[in-house]
């Protein structure tokens, strides 16, 4: 995936989750979800998810590319970051990934969301499953 690494620097992944949003310094930016594809590695089907989050005030965008099997198993393919001013190339990268893997992507611009409640409402509106975080024991 050299087209990813040309635009984003690799970053050490965070432990424990794919995306962390605190709505203080880290906000959702743009998410992309692919149609279902099939290949030799996943004859039953897979989809890609490209999750980007924006860190403020440094205006860094973090990009996480996931490949999800239809059983829900997710594999992190790439985890990178770049300055916000380079984000415009992400649409082209996602389009190229779609061509390379024979899937199409739906784009969700979440960059105006500033609170968890706004994010939750948008996720429900889009039709994404919402699972409330479990209370700490």
Q: Structure pTM?
A: 0.81
According to the model, what pLDDT value does residue 20 have? 84
Q: Which domain holds residue 26?
A: 2-12+22-115
Q: Which two three-digit tokens encode residue 117?
A: 């409640």
The runs of H, that is alpha helices, within 13-135 are: 90-101, 116-126
Q: Quick check: 72 and 15 in contact, CB under 8 A?
A: no
pLDDT band at 49 (very low <50, low <70, confident <90, very high): very high
Average pLDDT value over all residues in the chain: 84
Please check whether residue 69 lies inside any domain of the structure. Answer: yes
Residue with the larger pLDDT of the pair 136 and 80: 80
- The tally of domains found in the chain comes to 1
Chain segment 85-105, per-residue pLDDT in tens = 999 999 999 999 999 999 999
**What is the 8-class DSSP label of residue 37?**
B
Residue 132 lies in a domain: no
Among 22-36, 78-92, 98-112, 122-136, the least confident range: 122-136
Nearest to 86 by CA among 4, 31, 19: 4
The answer to whether 53 and 62 are in contact (CB under 8 A) is: yes
Residue 45 domain-assigned? Answer: yes
């Amino acid at each position: 995936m050299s087209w990813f690494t040309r635009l984003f620097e690799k970053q050490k992944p965070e432990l424990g989750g794919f995306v962390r949003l605190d709505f203080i310094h880290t906000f959702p930016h743009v998410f992309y979800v692919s149609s279902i594809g099939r290949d030799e590695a996943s004859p039953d089907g897979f989809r890609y998810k490209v999750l980007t989050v924006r860190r403020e005030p440094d205006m860094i965008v973090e990009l996480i590319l996931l490949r999800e099997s239809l059983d829900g198993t997710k594999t992190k393919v790439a985890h990178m970051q770049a300055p916000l001013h380079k984000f415009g190339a992400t649409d082209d990268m996602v389009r190229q990934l779609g061509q390379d893997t024979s899937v199409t992507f739906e784009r969700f611009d979440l960059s105006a969301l500033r609170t968890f409640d706004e994010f939750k409402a948008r996720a429900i509106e889009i039709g994404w499953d919402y699972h409330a975080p479990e209370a700490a024991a």
